[in-house]
């Protein structure tokens, strides 16, 4: 986890929404049960992106966003990175930082129209397929711990409330993860506002 990282700044508090988790706490005004908070999912996403290939030369490089797939210029809300293992691209992460809230009806079967952008990722010619996994919540950027946040269909906020990640969404559902066929050295992925996707390249 130290690849390309000079230092890490961490702030912890009992009721900070940007903490990784919350403990049981009550002070007369605020009451919190122990739970895993939204930033934890981002940490898992980043750790899986860096990977666990011990002994291999892993490099992470930021990519330039040149368009959204619809002929428009690159969006300032998009950010992308590629992880190389032994000199070969292994994973691409695309983050859409456009702030979007679905809180009005995130518990409903009908979701608000979520903006999205399509990104065309160029890959080596010998890449045959790509597994696309998603970090998301139907509530968008305002999602709290128990509001449907999942990474690759896994939630750390389940009825057991024991901090163990469990598969709560079917990975066969294309909205969770899907295998994309590479076409002429490119992979097209759509990234919703306040979502992130990871493209795992298959050689």
Q: Is residue 48 part of a domain?
A: no
User: What average pLDDT is seen over the chain?
Assistant: 83
Q: Is residue 45 part of a domain?
A: no
- Range 63-89 average pLDDT: 76
pLDDT at 112 over 70: no
Distance between CA atoms of residues 9 and 144, nearest Å: 22
Distance between CA atoms of residues 197 and 189, nearest Å: 8
The maximal CA–CA distance of the chain, rounded, in angstroms, is 61
Distance between CA atoms of residues 193 and 171, nearest Å: 21
Q: Is residue 16 part of a domain?
A: no
Q: Is residue 113 part of a domain?
A: yes
User: Which range, of 70-74, 84-88, 100-104, 165-169, averages the lowest pLDDT?
Assistant: 70-74
User: Which range, of 9-13, 82-86, 119-123, 172-176, averages the lowest pLDDT?
Assistant: 9-13
The pLDDT assigned to 23 comes to 77
- Torsional sign, CA 99, 105, 109, 110: negative
pLDDT at 73 over 80: no
Residue 182's domain comprises 55-202
pLDDT level of residue 147 (50, 70, 90 thresholds): confident
pLDDT at 45 over 60: yes
The pLDDT assigned to 126 comes to 92
**Structural domain tally of the chain?**
1
Q: Is residue 195 part of a domain?
A: yes
Q: Is residue 108 part of a domain?
A: yes
Look-up of token digits 């619809």: 70
The pLDDT assigned to 54 comes to 66
Distance between CA atoms of residues 49 and 68, nearest Å: 22
Q: Is residue 39 part of a domain?
A: no
Distance between CA atoms of residues 21 and 36, nearest Å: 4
Q: Looking at residue 157, which CATH number applies to its domain?
A: 2.60.40.1180
Q: Is residue 89 part of a domain?
A: yes
Neighbours of 29 (CB within 10 A): 6
């Amino acid at each position: 986890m130290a690849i390309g990282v000079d230092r890490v700044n961490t702030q912890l508090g009992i009721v900070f929404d940007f903490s990784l988790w919350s403990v049981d706490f009550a002070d007369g005004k605020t009451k919190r049960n122990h739970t895993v908070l939204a930033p934890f999912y981002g940490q898992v996403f980043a750790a899986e992106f860096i990977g666990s290939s011990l002994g291999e030369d892993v490099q992470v490089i930021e990519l330039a966003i040149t368009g959204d797939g619809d002929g428009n210029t690159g969006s300032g809300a998009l950010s992308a990175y590629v992880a190389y293992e032994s000199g070969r691209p292994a994973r691409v992460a695309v983050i859409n930082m456009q702030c979007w809230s679905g809180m009005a009806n995130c518990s409903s079967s009908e979701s608000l129209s979520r903006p999205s952008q399509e990104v065309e990722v160029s890959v080596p010619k010998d890449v045959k397929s790509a597994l696309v996994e998603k970090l998301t919540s139907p509530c968008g950027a305002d999602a709290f711990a128990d509001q449907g946040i999942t990474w690759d269909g896994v939630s750390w906020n389940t009825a057991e409330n024991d901090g163990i990640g469990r598969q709560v969404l079917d990975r066969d559902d294309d909205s969770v993860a899907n295998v994309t066929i590479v076409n002429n050295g490119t992979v097209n992925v759509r990234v919703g506002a306040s979502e992130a996707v990871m493209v795992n390249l298959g050689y």
